[in-house]
Structure 1
Amino acid sequence: MRFISTRGQSPALGFSDAVATGLAPDGGLFLPETLPSFANDLKRFEKLSYPELCFEFLKVFATDIPQETLRAIIAKSYTTFSHPDIAPLKQLSEKLHVLELFHGPTLAFKDFALQLLGNLYEYQCRTRGETINVLGATSGDTGSAAIHGLLGKPGTAIFILYPDGRTSPLQERQMACTGAANVFALAIDGTFDDAQNALKDVFGDQDFRKQFRLSAVNSINLARVLAQCVYYLSAFLRLPAAQREEAEFVVPTGNFGNVLAGWMLQKMGVPIRGFRVATNQNDILYRLFTTGEYAVSDVRASLAPSMDIQVASNFERFLYFNVGRDGAKVREVMQTFKTTGRYTFANFDKDSFDASRCTDAEIPGIIKDVYRKYGYIADPHTACGFKDIKTDRPSVILSTASPAKFPETIIKAIGTEPTHPSLEVLKAKPLVKHKIVADPATIKAFIREHAVR
């Protein structure tokens, strides 16, 4: 299978090259040239384990990796998860379910893709005899998951930009307390969007990118989105048969990658009814799906920091399909947005998406209410998914992070401190971070000094 850029000005690549490249040279994002259909495979998928299901799905895309090698890479990637179901589906009431995505090594949904991506990078370094330098930006969970996917792997170095003081203390410790020589936690003054913009500028320097064999771990990387499709498929198959085609998936999201994965799976023949984009008070996606205007506003630090984003990178992939796969139109929209900070769609087709918005003032009350009704502790991001939950249809709320990563908010809401052994260990380790300006030239200078060659 070949992969093309949303902006239509880069050559099509195979899976491994698209993964290694990350961001397309024309500034676009890679997508499959054609979307396969899994409509006729659902019955045979029902009894597969999570790693087996992941293999059956990804082998359709990763056609340049020998199947037994791919199977082994996938199997290795999910040995680090603590729950036997990998992504357990918990039933809270007759029609309400929670898909727990926080049983990986960093206790967040990003582990599903980044454990796999780390092992894909290791495979590529070994088979191609090359090193790779990985650059990412994070609002909280991506950075720690990416780092833990590459910890100590030979031939790799990883550089993660994050907004200093705008992640939770434990999220920062997961990035800056590893002690690994190939890990660099880069704390910037500013917001996630500042980090993401600088990252894109660095990747835009094609000579620098090629010289240092730079790759991306953000959800701009195609492998991230494809890997995340699998937990939607797993959840769909474990719902009661009578509820499957009526279920709405409710997805706390900031960068749009998590919910985009489910939507793409729907376009591959899996009959999911629809999706609700659950934002926090940084609500660019809520405004988009309710008004048709995509417009930046100031990022406000929140109790759900992983969603403190105003520029949702993965929206470009949805846009590509929304405008009839017209690369020129995508370029026009994205250039207007970059120049003016807004784009108004005259006839915006929101497809099967709905949206909700949750403020900081509401989050503790929602956590308390969910705990009282169901005895379930939701982290602040998951709490946003419980806002305006519909009772007339089956719903699956994606629980994106362990509540143990946000103890202050949970204590305030229910008076109980959630803990996790891996986080307790971090509290005693030294914090090693590099303060850096979110400027492409400064970031490139740091990479030159510390890159693996």
Structure 2
Amino acid sequence: MKYVSTRGQTDPVSFREAVAIGLAPDGGLFLPETLPDISPRLPGWRNLSYTELCAEFLGLFATDVPPEVLQQLIHRSYGAFTHPEIAPLRKIDDRLYVLELFHGPTLAFKDFALQFLGNLYGWECEQTGRTINVLGATSGDTGAAAIHGLLGKPKAASFILYPEGRVSPLQERQMTCTGAANVHAIAIDGSFDDAQRVLKDIFANKTFATQHRLSAVNSINIARVLAQSVYYLHAWLRLPEAERGNVEFVVPTGNFGNVFAGWLLQQMGVPVMGYKVATNRNDILHRLFTTAEYRSGEVHPSLAPSMDIQVASNFERFLYYALDENPTRVNNVMAQIKATGAYRFDLLNRSLFSSSSASDDEITSLIRRVYERYRYIVDPHTACAFKDINPQRISIVLATAHPAKFPAAIRDAIGQEPTSPVLEVLKTRPVVKHRLPAEAEAIKAFIAQRAI
């Protein structure tokens, strides 16, 4: 299978090439040239384990990775997850399920993609003999998951940008307390959107990116999106057959990558009825699906910091399909968004997508309400998903992080402070970070000195 850029000015590449490059040279995002129809395969996939399903699904896309190698990488990626089902689906009410995505090494859903991507990078370095320097921007969980996906990979280094003071203390410690020499946590002055802008500026300098063998670890990397699609598929297959035709996935998201991964399955023939986008006070996606206008605004710090985003990078992939896979139209729209910060759709499928937005006060109330009603503790991001659940649907809420990562928010809501042994260890380790301005030249100079 080949991969094309949303902007149409890059020649089609293989899966391994798309993963290694990350961001397409023309500034676009890679997507499969064609999406397979997987509906005939669904009955045969019904009883597969998570790793078996992952191998079957990713095998349709990673066609230049030998099947036995792909299976090894998958087993290595999910072997460290602490729950035997890897992504357990818990029923907490008659029509309400929670898909727990926090049983990985950094207790967040990003582990599903970044454990796999880290192992894929490691194998690629072994095959080619070349080193790789992974560059990412994070609003909280991506950075920790990317770093831990690359720990122990001798030919790989990670450079992770994050907004100083705008991630939770434990999220920061997961990035800055590893003690690994190949990990570089860079705290920038500004927001996540500033970090993401700097990242794109650096990748736009093709000479620099090639010279230092840079690869993108953000959700702009197609391997991340495809790896995340698997847990939607696994959850859907785990439902009673009578419920599968009326399913709505409720997804806390700021960057659109997580919900896009689920939406792709619907495009491949999985009969999902809808997707609900749950945001915090930084509600660009909620406004998109209620007004049909994409308009960025100011980023406001919140209790759900991983969603403190006003530039949803994966929106471009959705835009590509919404504009009939026409790269010329995508280029025109992206140019308009860059110039004005806004784009209005003539037609947007709001029957498939719904949305909601939760303020900080509502997040606190939702954590309390979920605990009182279900005796279940959710983190602030997952709490956003419990606002305005559709009673007519079978709802699957994606629990995107372990509540122990946000102890202050949980304590304020229910008077309890959840803990995790993984996080408690971090509290005793020294913080190692680098404070830099949100400027491409400053970050490039830093990378040039430390790239392997």
TM range (shorter): over 0.9
Aligned pairs for 1:312-323 within 5 A: 312-323=312-323
Please state if 1:187 is matched with 2:187: yes
1:367 counterpart residue number: 367
2:377 counterpart residue number: 377
**How many pairs are equivalent?**
452
- Between the aligned partners of 1:277 and 1:283, the Cα distance in structure 2 is 10
Q: Which amino acid aligns with 2:207?
A: D
Post-superposition offset of 1:391: 1.4
Map Cα deviations across residues 280-322 of structure 1 (whole Å, 9 max, x no partner).
0000000011101111111000000000000000000000000
SS of 1:306's partner is helix
1:233 counterpart residue number: 233
Q: Which amino acid aligns with 1:414?
A: I
Post-superposition offset of 1:364: 0.8
SS of 1:133's partner is strand
Which range moved further: 238-247 or 163-172?
238-247
Please state if 1:303 is matched with 2:284: no
SS of 1:119's partner is helix
Which portions of structure 1, spanning 4 or more consecutive aligned residues, are displaced by more than 6 angstroms? Answer: none
- Between the aligned partners of 1:9 and 1:351, the Cα distance in structure 2 is 33
Map Cα deviations across residues 243-298 of structure 1 (whole Å, 9 max, x no partner).
11101000000000000000001111111111000010000000011101111111
Q: Which amino acid aligns with 1:354?
A: S
1:438 counterpart residue number: 438
Q: Which amino acid aligns with 1:376?
A: Y
- Between the aligned partners of 1:336 and 1:391, the Cα distance in structure 2 is 39
1:80 counterpart residue number: 80
Percent of residue pairs bearing the same amino acid type: 63
1:8 counterpart residue number: 8
Post-superposition offset of 1:351: 5.9
SS of 2:361's partner is coil
Which range moved further: 197-206 or 265-274?
265-274
SS of 1:248's partner is strand
Which range moved further: 389-398 or 155-164?
389-398
Map Cα deviations across residues 212-239 of structure 1 (whole Å, 9 max, x no partner).
1100000000000000000000000011
Post-superposition offset of 1:44: 1.1
- Between the aligned partners of 1:128 and 1:149, the Cα distance in structure 2 is 19
TM-score when normalising by structure 1: 0.99
- Between the aligned partners of 2:229 and 2:73, the Cα distance in structure 1 is 17
Aligned alpha-carbon RMSD (Å):
0.7
Which range moved further: 160-169 or 346-355?
346-355
Map Cα deviations across residues 172-212 of structure 1 (whole Å, 9 max, x no partner).
00000000010000000100000000000000000011111
- Between the aligned partners of 1:257 and 1:107, the Cα distance in structure 2 is 18
1:251 counterpart residue number: 251
- Between the aligned partners of 1:159 and 1:438, the Cα distance in structure 2 is 14
1:271 counterpart residue number: 271
Asked whether the 8 Å contact 1:152–1:181 carries over to 2, the reply is: no
1:284 counterpart residue number: 284
Cα 1:29–1:123 shift into 2, 3 Å: same
Please state if 1:20 is matched with 2:15: no
- Between the aligned partners of 1:394 and 1:101, the Cα distance in structure 2 is 19
1:198 counterpart residue number: 198
Post-superposition offset of 1:343: 1.4
- Between the aligned partners of 2:94 and 2:241, the Cα distance in structure 1 is 13
Aligned pairs for 1:39-118 within 5 A: 39-118=39-118
Post-superposition offset of 1:6: 0.3
Asked whether the 8 Å contact 1:363–1:384 carries over to 2, the reply is: yes
SS of 1:386's partner is coil
Which range moved further: 79-88 or 346-355?
346-355
2:29 counterpart residue number: 29
Please state if 1:419 is matched with 2:419: yes
- Between the aligned partners of 1:377 and 1:345, the Cα distance in structure 2 is 38
SS of 1:250's partner is strand
SS of 1:64's partner is coil
Q: Which amino acid aligns with 1:5?
A: S
1:354 counterpart residue number: 354
TM-score when normalising by structure 2: 0.99
| Unaligned residue ranges in structure 2 (runs of 5+) | none
- Between the aligned partners of 1:386 and 1:421, the Cα distance in structure 2 is 27
Q: Which amino acid aligns with 1:241?
A: E
Please state if 1:341 is matched with 2:305: no
| Unaligned residue ranges in structure 1 (runs of 5+) | none
Asked whether the 8 Å contact 1:302–1:360 carries over to 2, the reply is: yes
Q: Which amino acid aligns with 1:393?
A: R
SS of 1:87's partner is coil
Asked whether the 8 Å contact 1:130–1:155 carries over to 2, the reply is: yes
Post-superposition offset of 1:368: 0.6
- Between the aligned partners of 2:16 and 2:351, the Cα distance in structure 1 is 31
Post-superposition offset of 1:438: 1.1
- Between the aligned partners of 1:444 and 1:349, the Cα distance in structure 2 is 41
